[in-house]
């Protein structure tokens, strides 16, 4: 029998009604394979296109096209988690990609267009940097959320930082402002992200497609040997 997409009794934390965080403990083997695959793809991409800014991380798009064990499973699991938390019956991925963070990489505060819910999954935390507890931290930084206004309920006093580890997954409304602080480790930190809607949207305009390679076609299912 295969792994359950959402194991029975899976513990889910909900710091806000629309935000849910969980940790999957059955991903060790898949994570190792995904990590090796994504480091190879990122290295290849960096050799091909010089990196212009640490603010981008290195992105490998289209999870469902990756010909590697675990990719199809994690793609389905992210959508299952999205549907379960949002209560929506259907899910269509508008865009998915891995972020490979090398030393110094960060992502400025942003939210996502063309998307209802966003999911982030942690493949590898890379190196934990003891000298900087905020190294590579994913945070939600949005004054509209009470979880970011804990001091007086009126103004943003704090970021919400889930306690991620390899196997963690978060879903949140795509309109919520989030960011990743500069990563200080040597071993790459790797996450996968999805933007998901209940139904397919019209194709992206040319301006919206900048930096996104065309989808190369879906890969088949691959099992671990
Ligand atoms: Fe994002």
For the chain, what are the domain ranges?
A: 13-46+64-197
Place of tokens 């889910």: 12
Whether 221 has a pLDDT exceeding 90, the answer reads no
Distance from the alpha carbon of residue 101 to the mean position of ligand 1, in angstroms: 14
pLDDT of 83: 98
Distance from the alpha carbon of residue 2 to the mean position of ligand 1, in angstroms: 30
Distance from the alpha carbon of residue 111 to the mean position of ligand 1, in angstroms: 6
**Mean pLDDT, rounded, for 190-212:** 93
Q: pTM value?
A: 0.95
Distance from the alpha carbon of residue 1 to the mean position of ligand 1, in angstroms: 34
Distance from the alpha carbon of residue 178 to the mean position of ligand 1, in angstroms: 6
Distance from the alpha carbon of residue 225 to the mean position of ligand 1, in angstroms: 33
Q: Rounded to whole angstroms, how far apart are CA atoms 7 and 176? A: 27
- Give the tens place of pLDDT for each residue, 115-144: 999 999 999 999 977 789 899 999 999 999
pLDDT of 219: 86
Distance from the alpha carbon of residue 94 to the mean position of ligand 1, in angstroms: 13
- Give the tens place of pLDDT for each residue, 178-191: 999 999 999 999 99
Three-class HEC string of 145-184: CHHHCCCCCCCCCCCECCCCCCCEEEEEECCCCEEECCCC
Distance from the alpha carbon of residue 109 to the mean position of ligand 1, in angstroms: 8
pLDDT of 25: 96
pLDDT of 26: 95
pLDDT of 188: 96
Average per-residue pLDDT for the chain: 94
Secondary structure (3-state) at 35: helix
Q: 13-46+64-197: which CATH topology?
A: Jelly Rolls (2.60.120)
Whether 1 has a pLDDT exceeding 70, the answer reads no
Helix (H) or strand (E) holding 81: helix 71-86
Distance from the alpha carbon of residue 103 to the mean position of ligand 1, in angstroms: 19
Distance from the alpha carbon of residue 26 to the mean position of ligand 1, in angstroms: 25
DSSP β-ladder status, 12-16 and 19-23: antiparallel
Token duo for residue 5: 């997409």
Q: Rounded to whole angstroms, how far apart are CA atoms 51 and 70? A: 28
């Amino acid at each position: 029998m295969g792994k359950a997409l959402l194991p029975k009794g899976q513990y889910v934390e909900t710091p806000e009604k629309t935000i849910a965080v969980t940790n999957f403990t059955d991903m060790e083997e898949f994570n190792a394979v995904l990590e090796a695959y994504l480091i190879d793809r990122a290295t290849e991409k960096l050799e091909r296109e010089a990196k212009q800014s640490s603010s981008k991380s290195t992105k490998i798009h289209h999870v469902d096209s990756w010909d590697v064990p675990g990719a199809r499973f994690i793609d389905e699991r992210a959508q299952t988690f999205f549907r379960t938390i949002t209560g929506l019956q259907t899910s269509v991925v508008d865009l998915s990609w891995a972020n490979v963070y090398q030393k110094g990489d960060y992502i400025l505060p942003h939210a996502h267009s063309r998307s209802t819910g966003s999911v982030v999954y942690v493949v590898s935390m890379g190196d934990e940097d003891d000298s900087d507890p905020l190294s590579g931290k994913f945070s939600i930084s949005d004054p509209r959320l009470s979880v970011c206004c804990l001091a007086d309920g009126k103004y943003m006093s704090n970021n919400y930082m889930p306690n991620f580890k390899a196997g963690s997954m978060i879903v949140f409304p795509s309109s919520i402002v989030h960011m990743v602080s500069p990563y200080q480790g040597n071993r790459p930190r790797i996450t996968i992200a999805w933007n998901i809607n209940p139904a397919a949207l019209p194709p992206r305009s040319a301006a919206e497609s900048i930096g996104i390679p065309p989808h190369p076609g879906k890969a088949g299912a691959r099992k671990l040997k």
